[in-house]
Structures are given as structure tokens and as C-alpha cells.
């Protein structure tokens, strides 16, 4: 059976976990506030998947997918605030505090793994901005601020 592997980095849509806090005027509380990851728009993942599934030359390939730039949690919140036209408070919290909140939802092991890849144990490969999206589908990867504008209603 033919296969193609897509390995996206942090999804822009992960910011949806902040929607209720932002709608309620509460601070977005995140660890690793200034660790920038090349956050990818889910539509870019889908567009690469479409090309890989329908076009020639993709079986047996592995594609590392990223957005066009590194974006920190603080910058993501600032982008959401900009599209909303209002301030959105942001508070950096410790890993321990974030782990306690996440473990209640995802379990201890998954919470630790998520915290590692979002800032606790990042490496050069995870931080690298790649042009794979444009190489595969011919269009540049979409920036986080575009995702934020497209989903502003969820935060109002």
C-alpha cells in the first residue's frame, strides 16, 4: 500500500482553546510565552494532503509542514486582539501550573508531551521554518494572523 506522511507542527487552530477565556475577557494563560513555533494553518495541511492524495510523485514521501514564520503564544494572542480590535490580556504561567491544568483534561503523560513540544523541550527541527507547503502545493503557507482573522467570530 502506498503512503505519504504529513508531519505538521503546532496547528493555528490550537488557539481555539483560548476562545472562552477571550470571550469572557479573561487572560490567556500559557507557559513558554516567548517560544516561537512555526505554527501552521490547518488549511495548508489540508491542501498538501489533497495534492499528495491526488497528484503523482508523493507515495513514500514524508513532508514536514510548517507555517511561514515562528509565532509565540504572546504574538498569537496579540494577533487575535488586533482582529478583535480590543485588548486581550495575556499571562505567562509556569510549566507546573500549565501541567496541572492540562493533565486534568489530557492525562499526565500527554500533558507533559504537549508541554515539551510547545516550549519545554524544543529542538532545531521543531523550530525550523520550512517551505514544504509551497513546494508541494505551489502556494505560500498562510500566516497565523490570517487564521486569526478567519476565525475572529469564535473569540467575540
CB 34 within 8 A of CB 98: no
Q: pLDDT band for position 118 (50/70/90)?
A: confident
How far apart, in Å, are the Cα atoms of 81 and each of 19, 99, 100, 130, 145?
12, 26, 27, 27, 10
CB 92 within 8 A of CB 30: yes
Q: pLDDT band for position 1 (50/70/90)?
A: confident
pLDDT at residue 99 tops 80? yes
Q: pLDDT band for position 2 (50/70/90)?
A: confident
Task: Find the mean pLDDT for residues 4-32.
Answer: 96
Task: Find the mean pLDDT for residues 77-84.
Answer: 98
Strand 28-30 to strand 62-65: parallel, antiparallel, or no bridges (unpaired)?
unpaired
Instruction: Write the Ramachandran bin of 102: left for phi over 0, alpha for psi from -120 to 50, otherwise beta.
Output: alpha
User: What is the pLDDT at residue 65?
Assistant: 97
Domains of the chain: 5-155 (3.40.50.720)
Work out the mean pLDDT of the chain and round it to a whole number: 95
Cell numbers standing for residue 104:
486534568
User: What is the pLDDT at residue 15?
Assistant: 97
| CA neighbor of 78 nearest in space, from 93, 90, 91, 68 | 90
DSSP-derived 3-state class of residue 46? helix
CB 64 within 8 A of CB 136: no
Amino acid at each position: 500500500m502506498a503512503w505519504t506522511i504529513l508531519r505538521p507542527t503546532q496547528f493555528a487552530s490550537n488557539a481555539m482553546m483560548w476562545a472562552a477565556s477571550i470571550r469572557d475577557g479573561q487572560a490567556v494563560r500559557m507557559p513558554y510565552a516567548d517560544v516561537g513555533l512555526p505554527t501552521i494553518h490547518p488549511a495548508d495541511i489540508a491542501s498538501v494532503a489533497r495534492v499528495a492524495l491526488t497528484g503523482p510523485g508523493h507515495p513514500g514521501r514524508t513532508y514536514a509542514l510548517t507555517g511561514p514564520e515562528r509565532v509565540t503564544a504572546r504574538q498569537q494572542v496579540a494577533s487575535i486582539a488586533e482582529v478583535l480590535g480590543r485588548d486581550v490580556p495575556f499571562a505567562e504561567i509556569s510549566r507546573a501550573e500549565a501541567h496541572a491544568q492540562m493533565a486534568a483534561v489530557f492525562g499526565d503523560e500527554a500533558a507533559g508531551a504537549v508541554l515539551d513540544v510547545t516550549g519545554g523541550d524544543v529542538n532545531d527541527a521543531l523550530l525550523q521554518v520550512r517551505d514544504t507547503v509551497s513546494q508541494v502545493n505551489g502556494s505560500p503557507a498562510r500566516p497565523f494572523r490570517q487564521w486569526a482573522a478567519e476565525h475572529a467570530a469564535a473569540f467575540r
